[in-house]
Every structure is written in structure tokens, then in C-alpha cells.
Amino acid sequence: MNFLHLKYFLLVAEELNITRAAERLFISQQSLSNHISNMEKELDVKLFTRSPKLSLTYAGDLLVETATQILDLHSQFLAKVGDINRHYMGVLRVGISHTCGLALLPEILPQFQAEFPMVEFSLFEGNSTHLEDELAHGRVDLIVCFQPIMMEGVEVVPLTEEKLMMVVPKSFTDEIFGERAGEIREQFSSGADIDSFQHMPFILIKRGNRTRSTVDQYFSRHFFKPKLILETENTITTLAMAEAGIGITICPELFLKTIHVTSSRSASDPLDFFPLTDPSTICKLVVGYRRDRYLSHFGERFIQLAQNVLGTAEDQPAGA
């Protein structure tokens, strides 16, 4: 049994479907089945039950935990050796939300790949809870998310602080304020009065997302009950709905990059952008990595590149 067998086993354990796992591995279904059968013969134990559907046995569950630890230790060892020899080969596994990734990675990745052409970049996308779970189980090397990180033993490197922005269709502002809309836009550019939008429809990210938790706490403190017409897992969807004039959404200012919004907004833009000024609505974007795991040089460099992109780079090593 070797590292390749363990990787194949873990992918089958994740998918619980030989066909899908084989497709992801770009090998035949028969070849993958043979790998699993050979592992079971070598260990003299069944790892999966095949009927009525594929599922892990007790021994299979144990092997998932053990194989994950073995491959994680192997990955850390290769990173250490690579740093010693300065040939920088390996894999950097990053967890990030879809929207953060869309806003940041197009600027970071080209620089990273130019510096480390032999390093494979692996991406996991999910909400903050999913990212922390991946980090806790050693399936990613670092995560990019908004504070707070709930798990213990994590080194936190600040990237930037982001204001929460109300993204309002201009038609809503015109409807509410009429002839005073221009005056109100100027007034709200330094801070919105959310009560003015009490009867307008809102479209928000679903609960479980760190930004949504901050927004809900803000609503609660201001005794504001939004007219919620849609919840979605995807911030891009909320922004697209706002751009189409369907509802108001709230998101960190960084995310406005995903709809190609710049600081020089013109009168022809279909949206108004009003910041929330409550100090509790300042979102702190950070990188987190486990203190008990070795972070490679190229992992540290990824963090520095993220700081450069966000204008927060300092002349100190990541985590200092």
C-alpha cells in the first residue's frame, strides 16, 4: 500500500461512488475498483459495503482518519524538504469563499505561479464553517475568511478591514426620496440610515455565513426587520439581483469587485452604495493556518502576496 492507494481510497470515501471518483482521477472505473480491492486484500478487511449502495465500513472509517493523517504528514515533510533545498515543489491547498476568491485570486495567482511554477495550487471553496472544518482536518494548509475564526490553535494574519455596504437599486432611492434623492445620495455616501429602506425588499446571503451573522446582529441592534424576499448561498447572486433592481443586499466592500464596481462610480450606474457606519459592521479579513502544522515558504509567500494586493504588506514574516 502506498500514498497513491491512500489518495485513491480517500477520494472514493469522499464520493461514495466509484464512477464519479474514477472520473475525478482520470482513470477507468475498473482500475479504481482493482486498487480498492487490492487494498482490502492486503489489509484483510472490507473497507466498503457495496450493497444497497457504497458506504464505509467501521474499518473504512478508521482508515479515512489514518490515511488523512499520513498524507498530511507526508505533505508537510515534502514542504520542509522543499524549503531546505529551495526547489519549492509541492502543493498549496487554500480554502476561501467563492466571492473572496473571485475578488482576490485573479490578482494573487498569476504572481504566485510566476514565482513558484512547480507548486500545484489546490482550491477549496465554502463558507466559514466549511473552511474551518477543512483546516481542522488538515485538508487545507490555510484559509482566507472573515473573523472570528472559531477553532483553537490557529495563527491569524490580518489582511484588511472592510466596511459593509448597502447595495441599493437607484430606482429604490428615487422611489423613496423623490426630488430629494440626489441630496440623500450625498448624505448617505458617508453612512446610510437603514430605517429609510424598511419597506423595500432585501436579498441576503443565507445564515451560516459570517457576513450574514454580522448583518443580522446589526439588524437586531437597530430593531430593523428586513422585508426578505430571497436568501442564497452565493453573494454574486445577491449582487446580480440588486443590479437588476430586484432588491437591496449588504456585503463587504471588497466583494463589489466581483461586479466590476470601482471607486469612480458614474451617474449611469444602476446601483447606489451606502456604507454602514456602526463599528460592529467592520469586517476583518484574515488568513488562518494551524500552529501545529508546518507552513511552507510558498505558503508564507502566498500570504504576503495577499497582503500586497490588499495594501497591508509589512516587512515581517507571516504570523509574526
pLDDT at 150: 87
Contact 89, 82 (CB under 8 A): yes
pLDDT score for 176: 96
SS3 17: coil
Position 260 confidence tier, pLDDT thresholds 50, 70, 90: low
At residue 198 the predicted structure's pLDDT band, cuts being 50, 70 and 90, is very high
Pick from 87, 122, 148: which residue ends a domain? 87
pLDDT on residue 75: 80
Q: What is the pLDDT of residue 81?
A: 78
Distance CA 253, CA 274 (A): 10
Closest CA to 127 of 105, 106, 153, 101: 101
> Quick one: pLDDT at residue 267?
57
For 267-285, write each residue's pLDDT tens digit: 567 899 999 988 889 999 9
Q: How far is CA 264 from the centre of its chain?
A: 27
Task: Return all residues near 320 (Cβ < 8 A) that are at least 6 apart.
Answer: none
Residue 77 has a pLDDT of 82
CA atoms within 13 A on the CB side of 145: 31
- Mean pLDDT to the nearest integer, 77-85: 74
Q: Which three cell numbers mark 130?
A: 466549511
115 to 94, 119, 159, 223, 247: CA distances (angstroms): 17, 9, 21, 50, 43
First to last CA, the chain: 40
pLDDT at 315: 42
Residues 199 and 248 reside in one and the same domain? yes
Q: How far apart are CA 61 and CA 196, in angstroms?
A: 54
From the list 171, 161, 143, 167, the residue with the least C-alpha distance to 258 is: 167
Q: Kindly state the average pLDDT of the residues 154-173.
A: 95
The grid coordinates listed for 142 are 490555510
Q: What stretches of 226-273 show up as alpha helix (H) in DSSP?
A: 235-243
Is the domain of 252 the same as that of 304? Answer: no
For residue 313, what pLDDT is reported? 56
270 with 179, same domain?
yes
Residue type, 239: L
Q: Do 108 and 36 lie in a common domain?
A: no
Burial (CB count within 10 angstroms: exposed 0-12, middle 13-18, buried 19+), residue 33:
middle
Find the mean pLDDT for residues 43-72. Answer: 91
**What pLDDT, on a 0 to 100 scale, did the predictor assign at position 230?**
95
Question: What type of residue is 154?
Answer: V
Domain count within the chain: 3
pLDDT at 316 over 60: no
Distances in whole angstroms, Cα of residue 81 to Cα of each of 76, 283, 295, 296: 9, 37, 12, 10
If we measure between CA atoms, which residue out of 71, 74, 46, 70 comes closest to residue 59? 46
Average pLDDT, integer, range 224-229:
95
How much of the chain exceeds pLDDT 70, in percent? 93
Q: Tell me what pLDDT residue 231 has.
A: 95
Residues 83 and 101 in one domain: no
Q: Which of 87, 105, 138 corresponds to the end of one domain? A: 87
Residues 152 and 220 in one domain: no
Q: Based on the domain organization, do 187 and 268 belong to the same domain?
A: yes
Q: Is the pTM of this model over 0.95?
A: no
What mean pLDDT is predicted for residues 97-104? Answer: 90
User: Cα–Cα distances in Å, from 280 out to 72, 136, 138?
Assistant: 37, 27, 31
Based on the fold, state whether residues 172 and 271 are members of the same structural domain. Answer: yes
Given a cut of 90, is residue 57 above it in pLDDT?
yes
Give the CATH number, domain containing residue 176.
Answer: 3.40.190.10
pLDDT at position 319, please? 44
Phi, psi for residue 293 in degrees, rounded to 5 = -120, 145
pLDDT at 320: 38
Asked if 63 and 10 sit in the same domain, the reply is: yes
Mean pLDDT in residue range 6-27:
92
Any idea which residue has 490553535 for its cell? 153
- CA nearest 18: which of 44, 40, 37? 37
Q: Whose grid coordinates read 477520494?
A: 11
- Among the residue ranges 189-198, 209-218, 305-314, the one predicted with the least confidence is 305-314
Give the structural domain span for 51: 1-87
d(CA 176, CA 200): 9
Mean pLDDT (the chain) is: 89
Q: Both 212 and 230 in a single domain?
A: yes
Residues 196 and 259 in one domain: yes
Same structural domain, 269 and 295: no
Inter-residue contact 219 to 306 (CB < 8 Å)? no
